[in-house]
Amino acid sequence: MTLPQDIQSSAEDYMDSQTHSNRPISSILIIIAMQTEALPLVEKFQLSEDHNSVFPKEVPWVRYHGVYKDLQINLIWPGKDSALGVDSVGTISASLVTYASIQALQPDLIINAGTAGGFKAKGASIGDVFLVSECAFHDRRIPIPVFDLYGVGLKQTLKTPNLLAGLDLKVGKLSTGDSLDMSMQDEASIIANDATVKDMEGAAVAYVADMFKVPAIFVKAVTDIVDGEKPTAEEFLQNLATVSAALDEAVTQVIHFISGKCIHEL
């Protein structure tokens, strides 16, 4: 029997939620690619840096951890590239830290938070914070049947109707690629993905989370308008600090909302 796709997805969501229905969420894993985005949250939740890392000594990944009410919080920042000293952004670091963190910390829920580009044609403005409904890649073009779908790598995020109703967040689809700019081919794929926001990590986190069936949500704040007038890099750098504050406020609200609830109550 083949179910229509929307029914099938709902069925999967239901099964996923059932897995966790009997107990409140106790451990959350927050993955944030840039230090500027991460540090205000570290401060707000008074998280401590882990000096006896759960990760191998060779990696630059940094774990901050602490307790908020009944929640164990682990915030992982992939750290600075050891050769170049810049944040280890992008899909490779994101997938590696997601993998290693799931193995080491066995979280009940993953929150990938970060800044993103937004499309004004799809209703995004600077400073908007989006809760992502699905993730896909826009820079993995493999024009061979089925491999093409693998490249796009569409993943549904955890459905959180109550969280959405409770918080003042927008909803949109996310498209991920390893470039900050956007080529013509990227643009065509982003349109095909029907994306409102564009980042450099989300779909990679979703890929690994899905592999281990760990529910994941994605909170993305808009630093730059991709289909606007200003060059992306300039606008991104200009707005990074202020939009990071909006992002952290949203993530804080999400954590408050999560506390004491089960996955299926989100």
Q: How far is CA 221 from CA 120, 130, 131, 132, in A?
A: 13, 6, 9, 11
Q: Does 56 bind a copy of itself (CB under 8 A)?
A: yes
Q: How would you classify the pairing of strands 109-118 and 216-225?
A: parallel
- The nearer residue to a copy of itself, 50 or 178, going by C-beta atoms, is 178
List the beta bridge partners of residue 73: 28, 66
Tokens 């003042």 belong to 168
Catalytic residue among 37, 87, 186, 235: 37
Q: Which of residues 24-53 bind a copy of itself (CB under 8 A)?
A: none
Binding-residue pattern over the window 58 to 87 for a copy of itself, x denoting contact by CB under 8 A = xx---------------------xx-xxx-
To 10 degrees, what angle do helices 202-211 and 91-105 make? Answer: 30
Which of 208, 217, 221, 247 touches a copy of itself by CB under 8 A? 208
165 binds a copy of itself (CB under 8 A): no
Q: Which of 171, 233, 241, 245 binds a copy of itself (CB under 8 A)?
A: 233
Q: Shortest distance, CB of residue 197 to a copy of itself, whole angstroms?
A: 18
The answer to whether 216 and 159 are in contact (CB under 8 A) is no
Q: Per CB under 8 A, does 242 bind a copy of itself?
A: no
Minimum separation from the CB atom of position 116 to a copy of itself (A): 14
Active-site annotation holds for 224? yes
Query: Does 161 sit near a copy of itself (CB under 8 A)?
Result: no
- How is residue 21 written in tokens? 């229905």
The reply to whether 140 sits near a copy of itself by the rule CB under 8 A is yes
Of the listed pieces 165-173, 216-224, 232-240, 253-261, which binds a copy of itself according to CB under 8 A? Answer: 232-240
Q: Strand, coil or helix: what is 264?
A: helix
Residue closer to a copy of itself (CB basis): 101 or 250: 101
**Catalytic residue at 37?**
yes
Helix-strand-coil split of the chain, %, nearest 5: 40, 25, 35
| Residues in contact with 141: Cβ distance below 8 Å, sequence separation at least 6, in sequence order | 148, 151, 185, 189
Partner residues linked to 64 by β-bridges: 49, 75
5 binds a copy of itself (CB under 8 A): no
- 229 touching a copy of itself, by CB under 8 A: no
Query: Is position 179 an interface residue for a copy of itself (rule: CB under 8 A)?
Result: yes
- Calculate the CA dihedral of residues 6, 10, 16, 22 and round it to 10 degrees: 170
What residues act catalytically?
A: 37, 224
